[in-house]
Chains A and B, each alone.
Chain A
Amino acid sequence: GAGVSQSPRYKVAKRGQDVALRCDPISGHVSLFWYQQALGQGPEFLTYFQNEAQLDKSGLPSDRFFAERPEGSVSTLKIQRTQQEDSAVYLCASSSTSGGQGTQYFGPGTRLLVL
């Protein structure tokens, strides 16, 4: 079946622009995660959704970052007034179990470059 998909795959933004990154999880997966992966580093947790509820947003770096999953499937990560330090790969992962205890399947990521 189809895996986790993300769009766009690449995004170039000028500093100060707003961007929106989309994640389509595996159909029926309850749990959805966003991670940020800086160059040469491991993914770092940003936020977690169980269905439409955002249960943890402790990893969001600043109030410029906002995520939503209004219908419990597709999720959008929005970054306002982008800064150069926001340049990274943004990975989405989904899991079939509630509570996020199951295997996490990752999407291909969106590579964001802020100039």
Chain B
Amino acid sequence: GENVEQHPSTLSVQEGDSAVIKCTYSDSASNYFPWYKQELGKRPQLIIDIRSNVGEKKDQRIAVTLNKTAKHFSLHITETQPEDSAVYFCAARGGSNYKLTFGKGTLLTVNP
């Protein structure tokens, strides 16, 4: 089955700096890669996603890049703000599959 590795497990940045979280996946058939933000005790919320026919997608301060050959994708947050502090999860879904396989998460702390 699919296996998703996520790094780093914790990331601390100063407000205004950029943050990058990286994920690798094992199933070359995977074609959908969402990122979820989860604040403590809250539900995971989708912040951005990318499909395998696209190499990069951007939404304001958030961007995701996908390298299908290397089977890795990354989340980029620019101009970080304290409210960006949360746990971020990457996930992958196969072509004929429906289940999401998640990484273990990255705890992002943005220091004012």
Contact = CB atoms under 8 A, between A and B. Distances in A.
20 contacts: A3-B43, A31-B98, A33-B99, A33-B100, A35-B100, A40-B104, A41-B104, A41-B105, A43-B102, A44-B102, A45-B99, A59-B99, A91-B44, A99-B98, A100-B98, A101-B98, A103-B46, A106-B43, A106-B44, A107-B43
Interface in B17-44: 32, 34, 36, 42-44
A18 interface: no
B14 interface: no
A108 B42 contact: yes
A31 B34 CA distance: 17
Interface of B: 4, 6, 32, 34, 36, 42-46, 49, 89, 91, 93, 98-105
A103 B34 contact: yes
Contacts of B49: 103
A42 interface: yes
